[in-house]
Amino acid sequence: MDVSFERTGERRYATVVTVPGQHPRRMDPAPGYDDHIPHDLVHYLAEAELGLSSGVFGRAAAGGGGFTETAETPGDPRRRTRAQRKAKKRETSLSAADRGDMARSEYFAGLCDIAWRRRAGASPPEWARRKQIPPEDAATVNRNLPVGGALTFTWPGSVIVR
């Protein structure tokens, strides 16, 4: 199966899957546009490297995954409706057979995205730069509180109030 990540607009992209012998299928717009690396590309790389056969792209290879055909289903409207029902049934079956790969794909795609951004030198958003307690120090600060001590924040901010 070939997978293409196609930029379709200034802040849009499509993911196109082409299984040999079948019409291409696409998700357009695809979720999670990013100027540097789109969400589905992160999924693809994580799933390919980890060998997740029931993630987004394993399901796509098996005919599921929420991608729609780019060619019209030939024939009468009843035939098209049957083809759509068949695709929905296939996706339901693939979901039932999932051994947790979709959840693992989401988890590892999230971790890989963060790691890639840090390695690429991406700076954190403004709200994250204002943190008074770096996340890696939160456990230490909390552990060193005396009995009766408290850290007080005003949601959703991360600046200590008192």
User: For residue range 101-128, what is the model confidence (pLDDT) as tens digits?
Assistant: 888 989 999 998 888 888 888 777 666 5
73 pLDDT more than 50: yes
Stated pTM of the model: 0.64
Domain boundaries, the chain: 2-119, 124-162
Instruction: Tell me which range, 37-41, 60-64, 84-88, 124-128, is most confidently predicted by mean pLDDT.
Output: 37-41
65 is written with which tokens?
A: 């995954």
Q: Where do runs of H (alpha helix) occur along 10-137?
A: 39-50, 56-61, 77-97, 101-119, 126-129
Residue-level pLDDT at 97: 67
For residue 124, is the peptide bond before it cis, meaning its omega torsion is within 30 degrees of 0? no
Spacing of C-alpha 23 from chain mean position: 24
Nearest to 50 by CA among 119, 12, 100: 100
Residue 138 C-alpha from the chain's centroid:
28
Buried/exposed 26-38: b ≥16 CB within 10 Å, e otherwise? bbeebeebeeebb
